[in-house]
């Protein structure tokens, strides 16, 4: 990269600037995974700079073209897009599906799989159709498109196996009491190997992950130091799933709309190299709080002052970068079974960032 990062860790760099310009600095076929959540095509303008629905596809296509160029042949592009309604009427916008079609038909991506992120903690919206008139259900699912450059990207679902249900555990212990191997009416041939313990269940493409972060060190430090936290953060469990399934340790993960750098933090904890691009220096500077857990207030204030320089190239010192595996323990049993894969199958853990940022 010709540009200097705002800050660095042992495994990653965070850059301030326009993502298209920064993408142009990357060599072709150099990135293993791009995981990002761009500003959505909302009708109401947000502080983080969303684009109007009618302009959205043309706005985002150049980013998709550059991502296609920088991805390795085995690489993946995971794009989280929230839904919205058309202006003034209770009819859904199709912008996220138009993005999908444009990326596949015009850029050349393959749709490896469509995922859906269900956020059970999401507040009812839009107010007019859900709360006031009560003619629509609340919108609590985002589309998450998993694009690939080729038909066979690097992927291993065994890295994100979900814990078996209690009933499946009983079946594994005593398969003859639960089923008889034979061909089912659906055409599925259930053999004797169905009762084999494979270490967990294959997860579905519906990811139930509540976005309930309210007491993280990032939010706490933003409040203590009077800096604005990024208003549109996805939970670490979402990038953790795809980082684990689609990359290996030391692979390179890129987020081109970095925000509060959840992706970089998660990649660091999972021992991946990472890069984050974010156009807002204020948001990116405060994202460094994620890597400063346990530091004194005076130290954090000095770091924040240093990051006021957009080309600070600050090397973050020793810090513990850990993902919380217990914060979702209060959700329903069904959702907990899905979420537990992040703790058990997805390799949740921590990484200590060393002083050496070279």
Active site residues: 37-38, 80
Give the angle 349-353-354 at the CA atoms, nearest 5°.
140
- How far is the C-alpha of 35 from the C-alpha of 158, rounded, in Å? 20
Contact 264, 14 (CB under 8 A): yes
SS3 state of residue 281: helix
Helix (H) or strand (E) holding 180: none
**Residue indicated by tokens 């058990």:** 344
- How far is the C-alpha of 301 from the C-alpha of 113, rounded, in Å? 43
* Residue 274 DSSP symbol: E
Give the angle 256-259-263 at the CA atoms, nearest 5°.
65
Q: Which residues pair with 8 in a beta bridge?
A: 13, 315
- How far is the C-alpha of 276 from the C-alpha of 262, rounded, in Å? 10
Buried/exposed code over 316-333 (b: 16+ C-beta within 10 A; e: otherwise) = beebebebebebbeebee
Contact 201, 163 (CB under 8 A): yes
β strands within 136-283, DSSP E? 141-148, 182-183, 189-190, 206-208, 252-255, 273-278
């Amino acid at each position: 990269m010709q540009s200097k990062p705002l800050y660095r860790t042992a495994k990653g760099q965070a850059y301030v600037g326009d993502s298209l310009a920064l993408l142009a600095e990357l060599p072709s076929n150099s990135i293993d995974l791009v995981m990002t959540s761009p500003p959505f095509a909302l009708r109401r303008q947000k502080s983080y700079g969303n684009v109007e629905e009618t302009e959205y596809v043309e706005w985002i296509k150049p980013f998709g073209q550059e991502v296609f160029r920088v991805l390795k042949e085995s690489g993946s592009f995971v794009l989280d897009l929230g839904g919205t309604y058309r202006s003034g009427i209770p009819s859904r916008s199709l912008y996220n599906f138009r993005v999908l079609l444009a990326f596949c038909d015009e850029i050349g991506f393959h749709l490896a799989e469509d995922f859906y992120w269900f956020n059970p903690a999401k507040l009812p919206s839009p107010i007019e159709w859900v709360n006031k008139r009560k003619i629509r259900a609340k919108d609590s699912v985002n589309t998450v498109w998993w694009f690939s450059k080729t038909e066979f990207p690097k992927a291993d679902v065994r890295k994100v196996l979900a814990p078996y249900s209690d009933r499946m555990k009983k079946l594994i212990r005593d398969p003859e009491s639960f089923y008889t191997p034979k061909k089912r009416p659906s055409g599925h041939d259930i053999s004797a190997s169905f009762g084999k313990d494979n270490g967990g269940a294959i997860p579905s493409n519906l990811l139930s992950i509540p976005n309930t972060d309210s007491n993280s060190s990032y939010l706490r430090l933003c409040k203590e130091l009077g800096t604005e936290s990024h208003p549109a953060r996805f939970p670490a469990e979402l990038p953790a799933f795809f980082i684990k399934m689609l990359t290996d340790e030391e692979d390179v993960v890129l987020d081109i709309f970095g925000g509060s750098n959840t992706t970089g933090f998660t990649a660091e904890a999972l021992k991946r190299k990472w890069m984050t691009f974010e156009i807002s220096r204020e948001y990116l500077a405060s994202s460094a709080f994620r890597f400063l857990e346990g530091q004194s207030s005076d130290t954090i204030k000095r770091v924040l002052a240093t990051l006021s320089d957009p080309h600070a190239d600050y090397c973050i010192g020793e810090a513990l970068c850990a993902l919380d595996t217990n914060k979702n323990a209060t959700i329903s049993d069904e959702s907990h079974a899905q979420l537990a894969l992040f703790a058990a199958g997805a390799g949740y853990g921590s990484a200590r960032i060393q002083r050496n940022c070279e």
